[in-house]
């Protein structure tokens, strides 16, 4: 795949997180099938800033072109679709920040759009400090320049790995999902 313009992070730590993330990837593939896209491997990570005794997460990232479907071709439109998918997987509409969840879908980047509003913040404000986001993102979009940094996702990931106190993560399953 060339020139990914959109990054979406997936995470789950309730129920069967591995199956949930795999099922969510399948749903995203069906919905974004018209756009070239690629999914990372699945990664397991310890919860970050979550309540004590929260279960581990399964994480992944997809990189894709801007969706062809008109209602998803804007950041807010795509975000609305992602939030509807979260609800389909049992996530309540009212959210408690960092609480365990059956499915979490975060819009990390949407082309070069920058937005800082209550319902849409792009690029994702905490992504660059999270290995469970950058490791899978580096698999699917290593050369993508993160807006506002001038650095590639791969170089940002390498720098984060070197920081002390970073949460350990491990690859638990390779991905075979890609189109175009």
Q: Catalytic residue positions? A: 91, 101, 104, 106
Interatomic CA distance for residues 72 and 10, integer angstroms: 17
Helix-helix angle 153-162:131-140, to 10 degrees = 140
Question: 105: closest CA among 88, 82, 129, 124?
Answer: 82
Cα angle, residue 129 at apex, residues 127 and 132 outer, rounded to 5°: 70
Contact 107, 75 (CB under 8 A): yes
Torsion (CA) 112, 113, 115, 120 in degrees, nearest 10? -120
Alpha helix (H) residue ranges in 74-125: 75-88
């Amino acid at each position: 795949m060339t020139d990914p313009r959109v990054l979406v992070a997936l995470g789950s730590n309730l129920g069967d997180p591995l199956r949930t993330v795999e099922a969510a990837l399948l749903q995203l593939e069906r919905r974004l099938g018209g756009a070239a896209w690629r999914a990372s491997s699945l990664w397991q990570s310890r919860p970050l800033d979550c309540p004590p005794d929260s279960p581990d997460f399964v994480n992944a990232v997809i990189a894709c072109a801007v969706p062809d479907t008109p209602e998803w071709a804007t950041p807010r439109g795509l975000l609305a679709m992602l939030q509807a998918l979260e609800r389909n997987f049992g996530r309540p509409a009212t959210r408690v920040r960092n609480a365990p969840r059956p499915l979490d879908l975060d819009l990390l980047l949407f082309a070069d759009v920058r937005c800082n509003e209550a319902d849409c913040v792009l690029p994702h404000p905490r992504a660059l400090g999270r290995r469970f986001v950058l490791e899978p993102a580096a698999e699917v979009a290593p050369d993508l320049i993160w807006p506002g940094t001038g650095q590639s996702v791969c170089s940002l990931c390498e720098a984060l790995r070197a920081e002390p106190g970073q949460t350990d993560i491990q690859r638990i399953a390779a991905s075979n999902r890609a189109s175009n």
